[in-house]
Amino acid sequence: MEWKVFPTGISELDSMLGGGLLDDSVLLVTYDMHSFGWVLAVKVFKSLVDRNGFGVVTNYSLPYSLLAKYSGLAGFTLDDAGREGRLAIIDVFGAVNNVKIDRPYVFYPSGLDASTFLPKMVDMYYRILEHLGDRKPIGITIGIDGFASLFDEETVIRLFRRNMIMKERAKFTEERKRPINIMLLNKDRVSKSFISWISHYSEHIIDFEPTRKPGLERIIVRKSLLPEFEPSTAEFVYSRGEIKIRNIERV
**∠ CA(110), CA(176), CA(79), 5° rounding?**
50
The answer to whether 211 touches 56, Cβ cutoff 8 Å, is no
**How does residue 228 score in pLDDT terms, banded at 50, 70 and 90?**
very high
pLDDT value of residue 115: 86
Which option is the CATH number for 26-211: 3.40.50.10420, 3.40.50.300, 3.30.1490.190, 3.10.450.100? Answer: 3.40.50.300
Residue 185: strand pairing partners: 30
Q: Which helix (H) or strand (E) holds 20?
A: none
**How does residue 2 score in pLDDT terms, banded at 50, 70 and 90?**
low
Q: Residue 84: helix, strand or coil by DSSP? A: coil
pLDDT tens per residue, range 116-137:
898 899 899 989 988 888 899 9
pTM: predicted TM-score of the whole model, two decimal places: 0.94
CA–CA gap between residue 143 and residue 117 (Å, rounded) = 16
pLDDT tens per residue, range 159-196:
999 988 888 887 777 777 789 999 999 999 999 999 99
pLDDT value of residue 237: 96
